[in-house]
A and B are shown apart, each in its own frame.
Chain A
Amino acid sequence: MKMDSMYQEIILDHYKHPHGKGLRDGDAEVHHVNPTCGDEITLRVRLDGNTVADISYESQGCSISQASASVLNDLVVGKSVGEAQQIQEAFLELMQSKGQAEGDEEVLEDAIAFAGVSKYPARVKCALLSWMAWKDATAQALADTPVKESA
């Protein structure tokens, strides 16, 4: 059934048991909202040199936005900022594919479960909320601490 291709078991698992949820110390904090539905996220990024040391967040919203934040945390924490940005771009591309892409499992791991969501224009923003917040927070953290690159 179509529904099942959107609400994959992986998505429901992340929704019910989100990884990394809660606010911890960070170098930058952003608050993003999805005005059409009221999904909200406050997200902090902590960088350790060139590594994404932590992504912490408080959020409320639908299963798709909650699961997506959890998957973001799984995939990106521990990676270099460059690798993380590549993953973010791959996820963005998948979500903009209108159901035409399957996603590269090597890069996106659990996040390929969101391929089905890309068929529902109203839900793509839900899936992207935390990822866009992360991109924004990371840009701010890098701008504040440009010398950390070599630390």
Chain B
Amino acid sequence: MIHTPRSGLLVPPALDTEAIRKDFPVLQRVLHDGKPLVYLDNAATSQKPRQVLDVVTEYYEQHNANVHRGVHTLAEEATALYEGARDKVAAFINAPSRDEVVFTKNASESLNLVANMLGWADEPYRVGPDTEIVITEMEHHSNIVPWQLLAQRTGAKLKWFGLTDDGRLDLSNIDEVITEKTKVVSFVLVSNILGTVNPVEAIVRRAQDVGALVVIDASQAAPHMVLDVQALEADFVAFTGHKMLAPTGIGVLWGRQELLEDLPPFLGGGEMIETVSMSSSTYAPAPHKFEAGTPPISQAIGLGAAIDYLTAVGMDAIAAHEHRITEYALERLQEVPELRIIGPATAESRGAAISFTLGDIHPHDVGQVLDEQGIAVRVGHHCARPVCLRYGIPATTRASFYLYSTEAEVDALIAGLDHVRNFFG
């Protein structure tokens, strides 16, 4: 999935990170006694470029109105901008149709939406007693809890793939985990805690063999690599805007058109109906069937602007840049005494989030002392507590990179970790 250049002709141009960084106002910040911000918490959320902020401001200053109703100029402009963002998303993920792009508030809502569609669906999609749901041990809580709820409410059985010691999915028992009883397989494309890029094809193949639907959580993939929903061959793909330069409050669920047509709505309300009487209603066609109520309009438009920005830089070039930074960071981190990488130790089939432990020093203390040097990392279990349990650790420190990250920032992290070791040593 991560682009690895094979020949001179195919090498994407190196990113001009210096120029890119100038687009991000917050990256100019200086913290605590003159320490420049070193922002290494991109897997939690990305920073926003001026181009996105300007589009959102201009929307509120010039076009603000509710969408899909009203015939006045502003309403038509707001609707065109909002629906234009849907076109941009569809192109960005190579969706066959713009009607397959459902706007939600985040990836969690997207995944909950699928789980609820399947809980209320008719045959053959219905998840009920004597059926099985399959996830993996490296999921974010947002791809665990909705399925636990669905299993509890329907009597279905929840199963999962375990992990290998080096942070990969253990698919050795794939035929026992995914069976004729499996209705849905939901897994993460790139792990937010381990950084692992999962082998989509093997899982999709087996799921298709038994007629199970495939849901892919692409929250840590969409910001960082070319995401082609047709190439993935999944049935649903979920991701969130704020990790890919867009505002918070906007997520996406892509679903195959015939499924979106067949499956029932979850949230009811305005916008998602065709006709309403006191005794019953009929529903708008997808995607509107799944977008009850006033949607996150400015956030969707911001996501469109973020996609414009990412596309102009080039997703191949971003993936190649992050691959280089990840390789460098893994190499430097492994020079730090007592540092243990939690997840793949090489950059192969790996994203740019790197979790580690540092001797017996608790990640909270690591993060606090790094913060004092202006370095922002995430500490804790990263909403993936089962991964921490699997590797027998209470928590990790995680550094995660993006298109504006530099080798100098990796060097700052390494120096920061030396300082942490001295402080608690």
A residues in contact (CB < 8 Å) with B? 1-3, 6-7, 12, 36-40, 60-64, 120, 123, 126
Q: Judging by beta carbons under 8 Å apart, are A38 and B33 in contact? A: no
The interface-forming segment of B101-109, B132-140, B269-277, B380-388 is B380-388
- Contact flag A120-B395 (CB < 8 Å), given A2-B32, A38-B388, A63-B362: no
CB <8 Å contact, B372 and A3: yes
How far is B385's CA from A40's CA once the two chains are assembled, in angstroms?
13
B15 at the interface (CB under 8 A from A): no
Q: Do B388 and A1 touch (CB < 8 A)?
A: no
Chain A CB within 8 A of B342 CB: no
Q: A1-B372, A40-B394 are in contact. List 20 more A-B contacts (CB 8 A).
A: A1-B33, A2-B32, A2-B372, A3-B368, A3-B369, A7-B368, A7-B369, A37-B364, A37-B395, A38-B385, A38-B388, A39-B394, A60-B394, A61-B364, A62-B362, A62-B364, A63-B365, A64-B364, A120-B368, A123-B368
CA distance A142 to B379 in the complex (A): 37
Binding site for A on B (CB under 8 A): 32-33, 362-365, 368-369, 372, 379-381, 385, 388, 394-395, 423-424
Chain A residues in 8 Å Cβ range of B388 = 38
**Shortest Cβ distance from B368 into chain A, in angstroms?**
7
What's the least CB distance linking B274 to chain A, in Å? 43
- For the complex, would chain A's binding face be called helix, strand, loop or mixed by DSSP majority? mixed
Interface of B is mostly: helix
Contact A37 B368 (CB under 8 A): no
In the complex, which of the residues B364, B381, B394, B423 contacts A126, with contact meaning CB atoms closer than 8 Å? B364
Of A3, A6, A39, A120, most buried by chain B (CB within 10 Å of CB) is A3
Q: Contact between B368 and A38 (Cβ–Cβ < 8 Å)?
A: no
* Residue numbers in B under 8 Å from A61 (CB-CB): 362, 364, 394
19 A-B pairs, CB-CB below 8 angstroms? A2-B32, A3-B372, A7-B368, A7-B369, A37-B395, A38-B380, A38-B381, A38-B385, A38-B388, A38-B394, A39-B364, A40-B394, A61-B362, A61-B364, A62-B364, A63-B364, A63-B365, A123-B364, A126-B364
Picked from A2, A12, A39, the residue with its CB within 8 Å of the CB of B424 is A12
Contacts of A64 in B (CB 8 A): 364-365
B364 CB contacts on chain A under 8 angstroms:
37, 39, 61-64, 123, 126
Taking a contact as CB atoms under 8 Å apart, the answer to whether A7 and B423 are in contact is: yes
Q: How far is the CB of B117 from chain A (nearest CB, A)?
A: 29
**Alpha-carbon distance A39/B395, docked complex (angstroms):** 9
